[in-house]
Amino acid sequence: MFVMTDNKLIHKNDEITKSFLTNINVAKEFLTKYLHPTILARCDLCTLSIEPESYIDEELKKRFCDVVYKVALDNDSNSIYVHVLVEQQTKAEKLMPLRILRYTIDIIQKHVNKYGEDVKLPLVIPMVMYNGTQSPYPHTADVRELFVDKDLFDIIGLGKFKLVDLTITSDDELLKHKQLGLVEILLRHAYTRDFINDINVILSAFIEAAQDGLPKYLFKSALSYLYNAREQEELQPLAEKLIINLSNYEGVIMTYAETLRQEGRQEGKQEGKREGRHEGEQKASIEIARNLLRAGVDERTVQETTHLSEEQLKNLVF
């Protein structure tokens, strides 16, 4: 009696599935049988081709095999993909819609990589061929059913996002957002060319946020953002107005300003050290060059040794 192991069975399943489903005539029959009639009516099966890629993770190839068809849509240059995933395990996977979603994104991304971002995204039709021990298929084929709240999912959806467009929202509207409004105003105005004209609206944003109980650490974060975006001289008028209007935060402003001054002094010291070191090295090179030239060493050798320029060598005074 011959007993086939799971691995051999999977291998045989993979072999027969691939050989049949990659045959163009069988593939056309498959799509004719299982595609939605509306979709089928818009597909030109004469253009049917087999994509070379597999989208299954390497570690999952023992459990699944797949075939990807590409078909022209409406006799046009646009294409539609059909991704057929054959489940080669006896136990159905509950999260299959989530896996399918990831494979669909991969197919779309490869299409974009190949044809560029200017093309319209292709439609992808996922299909799963199942032959497990549980019948009928025991899990949902709709990713919507996997989420915690299906009604909210219908509002949120997949592949779309809520756009918060600061470029079309007025400053007056943003100021109503209180603490949130501060970061929105800063994102909008911190890097503008006409920053001097934006100081008043930024000041208003600080005031609105402060009246709403802005924590001092967020106040400091806002200052830090501004001081990284603009020169200190540009921010001086704003800092003065902040001190006048927001006395509760004066300590934060002064502490932050002092920290910046200390950093500036420290940077100046470091720069001074670097300049001094460079100047010292130059003096040493010049003295070495003088001694070498006095000793009769040719100028080319002296230049290579000291790394001084020809002009510097010519200007040496003995």
Asked if 232 and 193 count as a contact pair (C-beta separation under 8 A), the reply is no
- Reported as a pLDDT band with limits 50, 70 and 90, residue 46 is very high
Euclidean distance between CA atoms 296 and 128, whole angstroms? 88
Closest to 50 in 3D by CA, of 89, 23, 86, 17: 23
Nearest to 50 by CA among 13, 76, 84: 84
Per-residue pLDDT at 67 exceeds 80? yes
Q: Let me know: does 97 contact 142? Beta carbons within 8 Å.
A: yes
pLDDT digits (tens, 9 = 90+) for 233-262: 888 889 888 988 998 888 888 777 666 655
pLDDT tens profile 155-178: 999 999 999 999 999 999 999 999
Q: What is the mean pLDDT of residues 193-203?
A: 94
- Span 86-103, mean pLDDT? 83
pLDDT, average across residues 106-135:
90
Evaluate the omega torsion of the peptide bond into residue 122 and state whether it is cis, within 30 degrees of 0.
no
The pLDDT of residue 16 is above 70: yes
The pTM for the full model equals 0.68
Average pLDDT rounded to a whole number, residues 312-317: 69
pLDDT at residue 60, as a whole number: 63
The secondary structure of 85-113 as a DSSP string is: EEE-SSSPPTTHHHHHHHHHHHHHHHHHH
pLDDT over threshold 90, residue 285:
no
Averaged pLDDT for residues 144-153: 95
Domain borders along the chain are 6-147, 171-245, 258-314
Contact 132, 89 (CB under 8 A): yes
User: Which of 266, 241, 269, 239 has the alpha carbon at shortest distance from 255?
Assistant: 239
Is the pLDDT at 300 greater than 80, yes or no? no
Alpha helices in the chain (DSSP H): 6-21, 24-34, 37-42, 96-115, 150-156, 171-175, 179-189, 199-211, 216-229, 232-245, 250-294, 299-306, 310-314
Please give the share of the chain, as a percent, with pLDDT higher than 70.
77
Q: CA-to-CA distance for 175 and 187, rounded, in angstroms?
A: 13
Kindly report the average pLDDT of the chain as a whole number. 83
